[in-house]
Amino acid sequence: MQMTKKARTLAEAAVFALLGTALPSTLLAHGAVEVDNAPEHILQASISQPAAIPGLSAVILDAPQPGILVSYRGSSVLTVEDTEGEGLLRFSPEGVMANRSSTEWPGLSEARPGMVNSHNKDSSWVKVSATPSFGWLDPRLGVENGEGLWRIPVITDSGAQSEIRGRLTRNPLPKDDHH
């Protein structure tokens, strides 16, 4: 199931807002900086096959290091598996939990410092979102993997299994002929 147009627009607005706060004001005031030896291509992630689980939607967060935003409105618990086939994230109507025992936990925790509450220190699962939506930089979408296919397995507690599938594509950057 694809993300609604409104949800996609909100996700894109959030990404642009975050990028805008990260740019130095001098860069914004003076336009684009000229760079020697800029790459001729960029790798872009895309979803080629959404997961076949009712209530699940996903959208790529387009950036130099692509991310993915997953939203789940199903009635059962949905688990996103990590690259080792272990549970990474659990989505439910109460929010999203992350597995601190996952090999991918360091990437999640570095992106969200302070998200581990003191009363949860004994649990391997910690709450990372109060809503059933969560975005993260998944290593399967990493540009260091080069051009090719990627997949993110998902499973519900009722036994439904599927995958979010996509590809990394090398796209040329526009040439600037104004110099």
- Whole-angstrom CA distances from 14 to 18, 19, 166 are 6, 9, 22
pLDDT in tens, 111-130: 555 554 434 455 799 999 99
Q: pTM of this prediction? A: 0.70
pLDDT in tens, 53-87: 999 999 999 887 889 999 999 989 999 999 999 99
Q: Is 134 helix (H, G, I), strand (E, B) or coil?
A: strand
Task: Measure the CA–CA gap between 5 and 105, rounded to whole angstroms.
Answer: 31
Q: Which residue type is seen at 3?
A: M
d(CA 47, CA 59): 7
Rounded Cα–Cα distance for residues 98 and 128 (Å): 6
DSSP, collapsed to helix, strand or coil, labels residue 15 as helix
CB neighbourhood size of 9 (10 A): 11
pLDDT at 117: 45
How does pLDDT run across 167-178, given as a tens digit for each residue?
988 888 777 655
Specify the pLDDT at position 7: 55
What is the average pLDDT across 32-58?
82
- Quick: pLDDT tens for 85-113: 999 999 999 999 999 999 888 877 655 55
